[in-house]
Structure 1
Amino acid sequence: MSAMAPTRTESDLSFLLDHTSHVLRTRMAAALAEIGLTARMHCVLVHALEAERTQIQLAEIGDMDKTTMVVTVDALEKAGLAERRPSSTDRRARIVAVTEKGAEVAKRSQQIVDGVHRAALQSLPDKDREALLHALNLLVTGHLATPVATPRAARRARENTK
């Protein structure tokens, strides 16, 4: 007697969220690549413009490890979009300062990011768009607000920026 696969009793929310997230990331990566940026570079520029922040603070905001952060800031420096400078409040700390050129690029990259999000949302009828955003916000602030501690850290999908 062969074993039967168990019957699914709920919609596969994991697949739906993973798939949409993956495809959205690929579209975002392609759109930002047109101006020579990665999503991580965009993230660092925008958050470094909001406030004086160290690489460590920016890495936390962007969910990047230390090595990825260093590579990202190196790329921004090489492109003339940002530079490492001593903090104005703590001389021992180094902050990521966005250059004038970097601020211009960040403005453009934010328009690109907004456009990718807009295109995805506009593919839905108005009532569905509002319902989706409302439901996702409820999950993000409620039932799925914080990850559960696991014995081994669950692998998070990371985008490939190569």
Structure 2
Amino acid sequence: MSAPERTVLDVSGLLNEAGHALTNRLATALAEVGLTPRMQCVLLHALEEERTQIQIAALSRLDKTTMVSTVDELERRGLAERRPSATDRRARIIAVTEKGRLAAGEAQRIVDRVHDEALAAFPPDSRAAFLSILEALGNDVITGPQPVRRARASSAPR
């Protein structure tokens, strides 16, 4: 039995490999200042405006458990803290400390450098086209059909 003929490059595989390689480069570079890409992402979204942990998790594409442990670590390091929201007493926001703001600024310079290095192989006009296509692909994937979720089985009748 033979495998079906591939008529198109494995785009998913190529994007996954490129993303994995870039994420590894970024993680290594950010480790120089003691941050992870997740921490940097959370700090940036929290600095942009007052946001809850749930809002930042959605923007950062982090699941609840990962978000909680990331914020716990940011708090432990004195980079951020959970505070009551100024607009909703029931909500808690992630507030970045001055130490966290300085760390996020330094880390963003590293992120920009790593991204510039990754794109350096492209001529400027090709770089712009590549980024535009990548952004469009990401937007299409994100807004496309959502995965089907099964209903949870209840162990006790209601």
Give TM class, smaller chain: 0.7 to 0.9
Distance in 2 (alpha carbons) for counterparts of 1:92 and 1:149 = 30
What code does the residue aligned with 1:50 have? Answer: E
* Displacement after TM superposition at 1:85 (Å): 0.9
Distance 1:136 1:104, change over 3 A: same
1:126 counterpart = 2:124: yes
Distance in 2 (alpha carbons) for counterparts of 1:78 and 1:22 = 28
* Displacement after TM superposition at 1:145 (Å): 4.7
Unaligned runs of 5+ in 1: 154-162
Report the equivalent of 1:33: 31
Report the equivalent of 2:134: 136
What code does the residue aligned with 2:128 have? Answer: E
TM-score (norm 1): 0.85
- Residue in structure 2 matching 1:151, options 131, 145, 148: 148
TM-score (norm 2): 0.87
Report the equivalent of 1:115: 113
- Residue in structure 2 matching 1:81, options 72, 79, 82: 79
* Displacement after TM superposition at 1:13 (Å): 1.0
Distance in 2 (alpha carbons) for counterparts of 1:150 and 1:101 = 39
Distance in 2 (alpha carbons) for counterparts of 1:61 and 1:33 = 22
Task: Give secondary structure in 2 for the equivalent of 1:95.
Answer: strand
User: How many residues get paired?
Assistant: 150
Q: Deviations over 1:61-115 (max 9, x none)?
A: 1111222111111111111111111111122211111011110001011111111
Q: CA RMSD in A?
A: 1.7
- Residue in structure 1 matching 2:90, options 89, 92, 108: 92
Distance in 2 (alpha carbons) for counterparts of 1:138 and 1:72 = 29
Task: Give secondary structure in 1 for the equivalent of 2:30.
Answer: helix
Q: Deviations over 1:24-82 (max 9, x none)?
A: 11111111111111111101111111111111111111111222111111111111111
Report the equivalent of 2:156: none
Distance in 2 (alpha carbons) for counterparts of 1:84 and 1:149 = 31
Report the equivalent of 2:154: none
Identical aligned pairs, as a percentage?
Answer: 56
Distance 1:83 1:145, change over 3 A: closer
Distance 1:90 1:144, change over 3 A: closer
Runs of 4+ aligned structure 1 residues displaced above 4 Å come to none
Unaligned runs of 5+ in 2: 151-158
